[in-house]
Amino acid sequence: DTGVSQDPRHKITKRGQNVTFRCDPISEHNRLYWYRQTLGQGPEFLTYFQNEAQLEKSRLLSDRFSAERPKGSFSTLEIQRTEQGDSAMYLCASRNLAGEAQYFGPGTRLLVL
Amino acid sequence: GESVGLHLPTLSVQEGDNSIINCAYSNSASDYFIWYKQESGKGPQFIIDIRSNMDKRQGQRVTVLLNKTVKHLSLQIAATQPGDSAVYFCAEKGDDKIIFGKGTRLHILP
């Protein structure tokens, strides 16, 4: 399967703990995006990278959130000191600069207890 | 500002009939629109896209119509099948991010 992959698919954690999610984009896709989706809503943009450079961050991305793409391939999204309000589906997408469409991974569902 | 929205949160269609899902957007400067399908527990799946210099685009069993005059977008699914049951999002490209509406849940009636 050459689509976007995300790991883990599910994560349950206690409030205050740190969590890290990984995204592997479609091979050779330059741009990688993170979105968050809560129940009944559409995904909301968090941040995106072109190769290893983080080009934009949403105001939704508080200082407890940090994303990296150190080698311009996979990316990680870390949430420190998780809160119950962080419970959501975290989605990763990628696209090639030659095209417009973003292709999404299966998401990581986070539950903070 | 940028926003997209769908007219109905839920749509029920008889299997075999055609489905039409509607969407309104507010940013007249938007130049690229996408329809995504999201099944339960999965990420959004790209269905079809359209640029603002077009008013119609067809795919396999799907057609997207764009009316820039009234800022309206629709997705037509021909001969709806049980596998079409999902939440459908219209979305627009704002800068380099995708802006999603709330979605329409499509129910297929036997």
Please report, in angstroms and rounded to a whole number, the separation of the first and last CA atoms in chain A: 33
Contact B93 A100 (CB under 8 A): yes
Measure the CA–CA gap between A85 and A80, rounded to whole angstroms.
13
3-state helix, strand, coil in chain A (%, to 5): 5, 50, 50
What residues of B are in contact with residue A104 (Cβ under 8 Å)? 36, 43-46
**pLDDT at residue number B27:** 86
**pLDDT at residue number A80:** 98
B107 pLDDT more than 90: yes
Contact A42 B101 (CB under 8 A): yes
Cβ(A110)–Cβ(A90) under 8 Å?
yes
A108 pLDDT more than 80: yes
Residue B94 carries which side chain, given as an amino acid letter?
G
- The 10s digit of each residue's pLDDT in A40-61 is 899 999 999 999 999 999 998 8
- The 10s digit of each residue's pLDDT in B22-74 is 999 888 888 999 999 999 989 999 999 999 999 999 999 999 999 999 999 99
**pLDDT at residue number B43:** 95
Distance from CA of A42 to the nearest CA of B (A): 5
Contact B91 A101 (CB under 8 A): no
Helix (H), strand (E) counts: chain A: 0, 11
Cβ(B13)–Cβ(B19) under 8 Å?
yes
Measure the CA–CA gap between A48 and A67, rounded to whole angstroms.
9
- The 10s digit of each residue's pLDDT in A5-40 is 999 999 999 999 999 999 999 998 999 999 999 988
A12, A34, A100 from A31: Cα distances, Å: 28, 10, 11
CB pairs under 8 A between A and B: 59
